[in-house]
A and B are shown apart, each in its own frame.
Chain A
Amino acid sequence: MVSAAMATPAAGASVQVRAVSHAFGDAARRLPVLDDVSFDVAAGETVALLGPSGCGKSTLLRLVAGLDAPGAGRIGVDHVRVAGPDPSRLLMFQDPLLLPWRTVEANVAYGLQARGIRDGLERVGRALRLVGLGDFAGAYPHELSGGMAQRASFARALVNHPRVLLLDEPFGKLDSLTRMTMQEELLALARRHAFTTVLVTHDVEEALLLATRVLVFSPRPARIIRDIDNGLPFPRLRDDPAFIARRREILIALGHGEEFAR
């Protein structure tokens, strides 16, 4: 099922973020959001971004997607400067943002249709089954629950075989069991097809389960305060002592000292 949904292997691309700063507003009311952020993501790597709410994680993903240009610094993919959005670099938004006038199936097919890929229906069906929405192909978005809409949005991204997948809290609205299933699917896809993933999440465990590296950001304006290499072997177990130690390290970095970090 997993391999079928990504029939064409999409070789991952590397991502370079160099001295990126970004601010909103004008000179009078400047809101600095990103402060000199630099990191590299190797091809095929999965990097998780963790940080307090409102620190600038979604903003950073928009910059990498090419939807906005950084105020300062530069962003590259395979060492080519990002100049605009491109379906090889797919952003899955924090909100599902499905098109209300399209059925679930037509929403998932949107990217293929936009690029004139005709024989996509098969792929769309597989992506829908992958996220457990095979029976809802003909439903309109207003007939979906929040979690179902988020899974549809996930399928809409996956079906395009991106080289870099930018995920903004992709599983935040799912119940914990469905979330686990989706995490396993993502892990399997990413490992099989070696696409690069940048994953924004609030969930420290999710970061440790999925990522090869975890970047921890400060409150706004976001700076990288920790860059943790997460070389835990698969399968990763939540009760593994190494896992627990790393979880505590990250929680402390996020400012949740002794209360929850134990």
Chain B
Amino acid sequence: MSDAPRRAFAAGVAAWAAAAAVTGLLADHGRVPAGRPLVELAAAVAVLCGLAALAGRFAWFAPVAHQGRRVAALGVAVAAWEIVTAKTGWLPLPFFPSPQAVLDVYRVDSARLAQSVFSSLLILVPGFALGAVTGFLAGLAMGWSPEARYWGHPVIRLLGPLPSIAWLPVALFVFPTIASASIFLIALATAFPVAVLTASGVTLVDSRLYDVGRTLGASNGFLIRTIVIPATLPHLFVGLFMGLGASFIVLIVAEMLGAKAGLGWYLQWAQGWAAYANLYAALAVMSVLFSGLTMALFAARRRALRWNRETVQW
């Protein structure tokens, strides 16, 4: 590794050591959180940065070598945030808790947060899967059969633009539980973009490939399995990304409005108690969870579209 990444990690050591020192040595201005997790964390990160600066010479370290400047900048930001909140009170409580206080939430309230993540996933995963499958099948049908297109088109045209969360009041009395209503709404939010993109993907297939298949003896079913579906996959994934984004919105709003569990409910609950540290802690969990799911979808896409030269590397 050249010197630049190593210098960045050395700066990281300085930044995080400063963050640990600021947090641990300066007196707090207002209410003091129960634990001091930030001191420990910042010190640990400083040590890791030091190791990174040393590990720089090894090849296995190369993939993360470029992260050095980001890590260092984050250390500076955390230190500054700690100063303007806990140490000086420039930003008022309870709306702006210190990073130490936010971090402390994970110590005291991790059980409830984990429970919330679990119940959110219990709604998100089945809803998204259901929507993806129905949307894909509907899209295939609409792309392949003029009759299905004739009936499907007006439905997509008229109902597609409706945000699926708008159906919440209807879903709440049609479905027995708020969980099943949320699953339905997430499925709806996913199915529409998936169906639209799959259908247009089918119509974009080079029709000469069907000629090739038919001269080689393929039946219609075989053509669908071996040509239509693989040719449509790149479009399907675009639909899945749109559906996943919409699903996050539906999930959180539905949980905020009616549920007794889940991350959306947790936000609502934290706000009700003016526990803003909990609120930020939950937001951070959500961001990690949702970006993790998005990255998992990207990984699935990369695997499924290995054959595609145009597959963008993310």
| A positions within 8 Å CB-CB of B | 62, 65-67, 84-87, 89-91, 93, 95, 97, 99-102, 110-111, 113-115, 140-142, 156, 160
Contact = CB atoms under 8 A, between A and B. Distances in A.
A77 to B, nearest CB: 13
Interface in B196-255: 206, 208-209, 211-219, 222, 226-227, 230-231, 233
Given A93-B211, A102-B307, A86 B230 contact: no
Contacts of A113: 222, 226
Contacts of A67: 211, 214-215
Contacts of A142: 307-309
B219 A114 contact: yes
A95 B209 CA distance: 11
B216 A99 contact: no
A101 B217 contact: no
Given A91-B215, A113-B222, 11 more contacts: A67-B214, A90-B216, A99-B209, A99-B227, A99-B230, A100-B308, A102-B226, A110-B226, A111-B216, A114-B226, A156-B216
A110 B216 CA distance: 7
A140 B308 CA distance: 9
A90 to B, nearest CB: 6
B231 A101 contact: yes
A86 B217 contact: yes
Contacts of A140: 306-307
Given A99-B227, A101-B230, A111-B217, A93 B308 contact: no
Contacts of B212: 93, 97, 99
Contacts of B206: 97
B218 A114 contact: yes
Nearest to B212: A97
Contacts of B307: 100-102, 140-142
Interface of B: 206, 208-209, 211-219, 222, 226-227, 230-231, 233, 306-309
Contact of A90 (B213, B215, B231, B309): B215
Task: Give chain B's interface secondary structure class.
Answer: helix
A85 B214 contact: yes
Contacts of B219: 114
A84 B220 CA distance: 14
B209 A97 contact: yes
A111 B213 CA distance: 8
User: Which of B213, B215, B306 gathers the greatest number of chain A CB atoms within 10 Å?
Assistant: B215
A87 B216 contact: yes
A101 B306 CA distance: 8
B233 to A, nearest CB: 8
12 contacts: A65-B215, A87-B215, A91-B211, A99-B212, A99-B226, A101-B231, A101-B307, A101-B308, A110-B218, A111-B216, A140-B306, A160-B217
A114 B213 contact: yes
User: Which of A66, A100, A102, A140 gathers the greatest number of chain B CB atoms within 10 Å?
Assistant: A100
Contacts of A99: 209, 212, 226-227, 230
A62 B209 CA distance: 14
Contact of A114 (B208, B209, B216): B216
A67 B212 CA distance: 10
B208 A95 contact: yes
User: Which of B206, B211, B231, B309 gathers the greatest number of chain A CB atoms within 10 Å?
Assistant: B211
B222 A114 contact: yes
Contacts of B227: 99
Contacts of A84: 214
Nearest to A117: B217
Nearest to B305: A101
Nearest to A160: B216
A37 B217 CA distance: 27
Nearest to A110: B216
Q: Shortest 6 CB-CB distances between A and B: which pairs?
A: A111-B216, A87-B217, A101-B230, A114-B218, A142-B309, A101-B307
A93 B213 contact: no
